[in-house]
Amino acid sequence: MDGRLEAAAAAPPGGTDPTAAGHAVYTPGFLRLYDSLVLGVFGPLVWRCPTRLVVAHYARHAGRRHLDVGPGTGYFLARTRLPPGARVVLLDPNPHVLAHAAARLARLRPAALRADVLRPLPLAGRFDSVALTYVLHCLPGPMARRAPAIRALAALLAPDGVLFGATVLGTPARHTWLGRALLADTNRRGIFDNRSDTAEGLRALLAESFAALDLRVVGAVAVFAATAPRRFPP
């Protein structure tokens, strides 16, 4: 892993990109604000999931060969002590995200791969862990539409590997009035597409590709770790 930025198919040529709204918002300016605003305010106070809990989730699950899908600013990996000799791949369709996270995590010499998790992944090999933290709610819904991505990530894991992360649910009853207002705004702007996301839907999505699942809901956030990836014929 040498920190180079690789470009892969991130968007269909000439067509409209159905996932663009979910990642285009991460401009260099917004990335500078992201940790304080999203992880400092929205996560703990609006979605009501303490960011330290997600830090602990990384500490528990991130392995030696780690793939981070949608790394954002790299906040969580920057706070994770990875096993010696760790190899990290960052995957995101947004080049600003890759540049920002790769610079912050330079000590890990991550490989950066520009790709959309909803499209065929230009990746092979075996990972011990894949993180999908605060990404699912940015992908076009409903939940079932994300199944090919989950299947593809499961196929990249070692037999004892783990897919872990967190996602904001759309269930109104789990939200405060402030959460519902922000949910409506982010869904209207296409930054989130999680109006129909439920814990049960997420459980079904992950169970299709994994035989074991730990899922708990904290505030309006589902925090999950899926193990025992199922193998599908190619």
Ligand X SMILES: C[S@@+](CC[C@H](N)C(=O)[O-])C[C@H]1O[C@@H](n2cnc3c(N)ncnc32)[C@H](O)[C@@H]1O
Q: Does 170 bind ligand X (CB under 6 A)?
A: no
Per-residue H/E/C for 167-231: EECCCHHHCCHHHHHHHHHHHHCCCCCCCCCCHHHHHHHHHHHEEEEEEEEECCEEEEEEEEECC
Q: Dihedral, CA atoms, 8, 12, 17, 18, nearest 10 degrees?
A: -100
Q: Does 224 bind ligand X (CB under 6 A)?
A: no
Query: Using CB under 6 A, which of 49, 66, 71, 108 touches ligand X?
Result: 71
Q: Is the dihedral of CA 140, 143, 145, 147 positive or negative?
A: positive
Query: Using CB under 6 A, which of 49, 69, 88, 150 touches ligand X?
Result: 69
Q: Does 110 bind ligand X (CB under 6 A)?
A: no
Q: Does 23 bind ligand X (CB under 6 A)?
A: yes
Distance CA 123, CA 119 (A): 11
Q: Does 72 bind ligand X (CB under 6 A)?
A: yes
CB nearer ligand X, residue 160 or residue 216: 216
Q: Does 179 bind ligand X (CB under 6 A)?
A: no
Q: How far is the CB of 233 from ligand X (least distance, A)?
A: 25
The residues of the shown chain that bind ligand X, judged by CB under 6 A, are 19, 22-23, 26, 39, 69-72, 75-76, 92-94, 97, 116-118, 133-135, 138-139
